Structure 1
Amino acid sequence: MLLRVIAGAAMLGALSLAAHAQEMFDGYLCCNLRTDGSWMSDSNYAESGKRIVPVGTPIRVSGYGRQRVLVDVNGGKQAIGNDYSRDLDLVTFAKRWVVAEDPSRKIAGYPPKIREAIKSARITKGMTREQVAMAVGYPISSENPNLDVPVWRMWISSFAGYTVNFDKAGRVSSVETDPQTRVLVYVD
């Protein structure tokens, strides 16, 4: 009898977890994400042939797969790959990238320099952490488990990394990288 109770409780727990993992919802893309037309990765590499799906794009979470969140965006189906942030469960991962409130409203109230940097998927001095994420995406959580730290380690390709340094007020004070990568990720 005890084994049946334990098995029943385990089954209910598994069903609850499966139902939670299948949470579907509508929202908006939190950040500029690069796509090859079918795949957007949490690494957000700027490889040739990829285009940017802009922050604020309406998006629907339509399912979950192995280390991916299936989404409907711009009339097509894509996946957001949890390639490097696997310490986040898929629903938490989905809610990081697909947000309930349209970020475009916030962006409209930012100074012109910040708006232009976000639109061009680059960082500029004085941006907040939220604005950096809107522009270039979130840092990979396995390297940046806490977003409130003074330095974010970011990547534009598997070989080109950069660091975003924040001052005590939580605003970008500098970006450190090689000159070639700096042109791609930073605007004065």
Structure 2
Amino acid sequence: MRFRNAVPALVAIAIATAMAPAIARQAAKTEGFLCCNMRSFDGEVYDINYDDEGARIVPFGSPLTVTKQGRRKLRLLVDGEKHVIENHYSRDLSDAEFAARYVVAEDPRIAAAGFPEKIREAIASARITPGMNREQVAMSLGWPVSSENPDLDADVWRFWLGSFEEIQVEFDAAGLVVDASASPLTRRKIWLP
């Protein structure tokens, strides 16, 4: 008789234990800052960060709250607006690694305040300029998707502003931007000479 009464309790414990990670993901709200300029179209943000018509830039350093993290999606509240960052092209990253790219604990605007004026101007306008380091490029253009950039120490980072608007940002041995290869129109959008 004691065993039969224990079975429902054991089942309830097993279910609660199995559901704990999912409940924790839903219940945990993390405060932080947006790592980089991200393009949002009606609250939808994709890891590839396309410059679609009608998209607006949510600026790097924006204070945010992570309201939910699920499979390949990060739900945020930024200045009272809901946003979802979706992982379409960096699926080799775990959900935690993906979130860590975009949500940072320290406000990146504090570090940016000490950058040279031209670099601050480039980041504020979501562009790049010679002499930027990798962190500054990420602040400005977002992280390059891992499916095309598995090694963040590589000499070239590939970005896409649209389906046919590829950008290749070239770094020197010291990790500083020396040039960017793109079509003339795309280059004008992102390059600050």
Deviation string 1:122-167 (CA, Å, 9 cap, x unpaired) is 0000000000000000001111112111110111111110100100
2:158 to 144, 153, 156: 153
Q: CA RMSD in A?
A: 2.0
Kept after mapping to 2: 8 A contact 1:29/1:99: yes
- Figure out how many residues of one structure are paired with residues of the other and give that number: 180
The TM-score normalised by the length of structure 2 is 0.86
Identical-residue share of aligned pairs (%): 49
Matches of 1:24 and 1:144 in 2, distance apart?
Answer: 30
Please give the per-residue CA displacement for 1:85-144, whole angstroms capped at 9, x wherever unaligned. Answer: 111121221111010000000111000000000000000000000000000000011111
State the partner residue of 1:142: 147
**1:36-92 Cα deviation digits (max 9, x unpaired):** 131111111111101100000001111024421011111021101111111112122
Aligned residue identity for 1:93: F
- State the SS of the aligned residue for 2:163: coil
> Which whole-Å CA distance do the structure 2 matches of 1:113 and 1:148 have between them?
24
What SS is found at the alignment partner of 1:182? helix
Native 8 Å contact 1:61 1:94 kept in 2: no
Instruction: Write out the 4+ residue segments of structure 1 that deviate beyond 4 Å after TM superposition.
Output: 10-17, 19-23
Which residue of structure 1 aligns with residue 112 of structure 2? 107
TM-score (norm 1): 0.89
Kept in 2: contact 1:39–1:79 (CA 8 A): yes
**How far apart are residue 172 of structure 1 and its match?**
0.3
Structure exhibiting the larger radius of gyration computed from Cα positions: 2
Q: How does 1:158-169 map to 2 (within 5 A)?
A: 158-169=163-174
Residue 127 in structure 1 maps to residue 111 in structure 2: no
Moved more, 65-74 or 161-170: 65-74
In structure 1, stretches of 5+ residues that fail to align are 1-9
- Greater CA drift, 24-33 or 61-70: 61-70
